[in-house]
Amino acid sequence: MDDIIIQFEHFGFQYHAQSEPTLHDINLTVRRGEKILIAGPSGCGKSTLAHCINGLIPFSYRGESSGSLRIAGKETKELSIFDISRHVGTVLQDPDGQFVGLTVAEDIAFALENDCVQEPALHERVQKAAAMVELEDHLRHAPNELSGGQRQRVALAGVLVDDVDVLLFDEPLANLDPATGKAAIELIEQVQKQTGAAVVIIEHRLEDVLHREVDRIVLMGEGRILADTTPDELLSGPWLRDSGIREPLYLTALRYAGVEIRAEMAPRSIRTLRLSDDEKAKVRGWFAAVPPAEERPPRPVLLDVQDLHFTYSGKDHETLRGISLRVGQGELLAIVGRNGAGKSTFSKVVCGFETQQSGTVRFHGEDMAALSIKEHADRIGYVMQNPNQMISKVMIFDEVALGLRKRGLPEDEVKRRVEETLRICGLWPFRSWPISALSFGQKKRVTIAAILVLEPEMIILDEPTAGQDYRHYTEIMEFLLTLQKRGITVAMITHDMHLMLEYAERAVVFSRGRIIADTDCAAVLTDPAIIGEANLKETSLYALAGLCGIADGQAFVRRFIDYERKELRP
């Protein structure tokens, strides 16, 4: 029994600042060498559970615990955070925020330095850890010279310098593009094989983690463990529905086709999935039965961008290298591509934050070059990724009113428009609340409301659903749909392939300052050349079509999208 490394027994925890416990009666055992996925919606307690494992609870976040939690056989109450970190290495969610050193080597060395490890062991161990994550050629690089995926590998190397028994990953996929996320999951597996450590992954993006095998999935909800079983059992069981966790898309498609999902089908991955001929026929039948959606009538052009070139001052390479794009009135489109491809820069030029070196941006046929940043905002609003970067007032009403007041509108007009916007955004019940009392998703709404109140015809949102679980994601996206129905044009910069498939009418793919594809989402997510170039990931629906003997995989993906839009969102 001494291969048990983490053992929760009737464990509960309540933060000092809260009136209710966050964790109830947790019983969980992790053995050496095991790989476990802890999934659950926001607020289910999975982060709290992670903090209990790595010692941040109770050392940084105070509260009252009950029951027992033993790590490597010792009760954590009797250990310090430093003792625990000998056994548990944590890779936090934000690979940028946890970069402590000025260079890769220093960051990897950080734990060793704090342990007073002397030369030559210090350099040797850093070298070894860097080699494990294939960063030995980047030792002298500064964080801003690295991609998001490389930064995450630095963070991983930083815990690999110690021989830990458990590697704990807190939402490792949250800030990565789809292809990098896939590589991260592969790297985690590779490192686990090399070190033999137990791996605990906290993540709500089930399908992406299941890209590689895991031993068990622990599903949490409202502070309790709802299920602790194999991926096959979990995916075929009743737990996932209404849990705020999205099941893999190929399973959703099977369900639509009327195929019952059973553990013997090995549904844990599209590669392991086994379907009987009868089931395959059912899928083919469903594919044939769903009528193709009628062609959308062409929309009048709202935004017309011609041959945009842009270089940041002090940089010698162009960030935008001839971007031409037309956006129709009332469209909902996704802008995708790897980090640094020019998506955000493009938005900034279109919103007037930066000025292009050449090329034109027309809005309703009017050249926007002469307009001020403020006048741009009356036409195209920009919503930043992190709501905390936009909120500057204490009260919701004042935050939404800010732009109108700055424009010198009379107060009764301000009141009328703010109240109307709050109603549209579903914030009316909270109108007299302080912003600090809102959830992340509600704050996001406040920032969208603060932009909408200026009555722009188009809004651009940077990663509108980043870090949101399925429920909040759906909430935000359904809200954007209602805006679209009111005639507002919506462009979203995103890494989320599901978001693209389910909501966007069209995907514009950026790569190295150019647009390499501008077509419907099904075409983008089934084209290996575009997928590779833009760091996207092929949708599992495509593979499912192949498995069921449907030759035109793209059409299958398109049918799936149409079906969802028609049947589930009439």
* 355 part of the interface to other proteins, by CB under 8 A: no
Q: How many residues bind other proteins (CB under 8 A)?
A: 63
Alpha-carbon dihedral sign for residues 337, 338, 341, 347: positive
Of 15, 25, 43, 100, the one binding other proteins (CB under 8 A) is 100
Residue 219 is encoded by which pair of tokens?
Answer: 């599903």
Q: Is 112 in the site for other proteins (CB under 8 A)?
A: yes
Q: Residue 253 in contact with residue 283, Cβ under 8 Å?
A: yes
Of 28, 111, 199, 499, the one binding other proteins by CB under 8 A: 111
By CB under 8 A, which span of 105-113, 128-136, 284-292, 496-504 interacts with other proteins? 105-113
102 sits near other proteins (criterion: CB under 8 A) = yes
Nearer to other proteins, 96 or 307 (CB): 96
Which residues inside 441-500 make contact with other proteins, applying CB under 8 A? 450-451, 454
Scanning 114-122, 249-257, 326-334, 547-555 for contacts with other proteins by CB under 8 A, the matching segment is 114-122
Determine if 118 is a binding residue for other proteins (CB under 8 A): yes
Segment 136 to 165, residues that bind other proteins, using CB under 8 A: 143-144, 158-159
Nearer to other proteins, 179 or 425 (CB): 425
Three state DSSP letters for 377-424: HHHEEEECCCHHHCCCCCEHHHHHHHHHHHCCCCHHHHHHHHHHHHHH
Q: How far apart are the first and last CA of the chain?
A: 55
Q: Which stretch binds other proteins (CB under 8 A): 65-73, 255-263, 372-380, 541-549?
A: 372-380
- Binding residue for other proteins (CB under 8 A) from 1, 17, 116, 568? 116
Type of residue at 15: Y
Q: Which two tokens stand for residue 414?
A: 């301000």
Q: Which amino acid is at 539?
A: T
Q: Minimum distance between the CB of residue 464 and other proteins, rounded to whole angstroms?
A: 15
Is residue 352 close enough to count as binding other proteins by CB under 8 A? yes
CB-based contacts of 243, cutoff 8 Å, min separation 6: 40, 41, 219, 221, 226
**What are the tokens at 356?**
């292009």
User: Quick one: CA dihedral 267, 272, 278, 279, positive or negative?
Assistant: positive
Query: Should residue 189 be labelled a site residue for other proteins when binding is judged by CB under 8 A?
Result: no
Yes or no: say if 305 and 323 are a contact pair by the CB < 8 Å rule: yes
Nearest to 444 by CA among 45, 49, 42: 42
433 belongs to the binding site for other proteins (CB under 8 A) = no
In the bound state with other proteins, the residue whose beta carbon lies nearer, of 59 and 433, is 59
Sheet of 514-519, strand order: 380-383, 458-462, 489-493, 332-336, 506-511, 514-519
Q: Is 114 in the site for other proteins (CB under 8 A)?
A: yes
Task: State the nearest-atom distance from the C-beta of 231 to other proteins, in Å.
Answer: 28
Q: Which residue shows structure tokens 């895991």?
A: 214
Least separation in angstroms between CB 193 and other proteins: 24
User: x/- binding map, residues 75-94, to other proteins, per CB under 8 A?
Assistant: ------xx--x----x-x-x
Instruction: Write the CA distances from 556 to 277, 283, 466, 549, 553, integer angstroms.
Output: 18, 10, 27, 11, 5
Instruction: Return the residues of window 40-69 that contact other proteins according to CB under 8 A.
Output: 54-56, 59-60
Q: Please give the Cα distance from 522 to 568 (Å, whole number).
A: 18
CB of 84 to other proteins, least distance (A): 9
For the segment 390-409, give every residue that binds other proteins (CB under 8 A): 390-392, 402-403, 406-407
Q: Is the dihedral of CA 430, 432, 437, 439 positive or negative?
A: positive
Which member of 242, 373, 482, 532 binds other proteins (CB under 8 A)? 373
CB-count exposure of residue 403 (10 Å: 0-12, 13-18, 19+): buried
Of 216, 231, 225, 226, residue with least CA distance to 263: 231
Write the CB contacts of 151 (distance below 8 Å, at least 6 apart in sequence). 95, 96, 99, 143
**Nearest approach, Cβ of residue 125 and other proteins (Å):** 10
Q: Residue from 62, 274, 374, 423 that binds other proteins (CB under 8 A)? A: 374
Query: Least separation, in Å, of the C-beta of 118 and other proteins?
Result: 6
Task: Enumerate residues 320-349 that contact other proteins by CB under 8 A.
Answer: 348
Binding site for other proteins (CB under 8 A): 54-56, 59-60, 81-82, 85, 90, 92, 94, 96-103, 105-106, 109-119, 122-123, 126, 143-144, 158-159, 348, 351-353, 373-374, 376-377, 381-382, 384, 386, 388-392, 402-403, 406-407, 450-451, 454
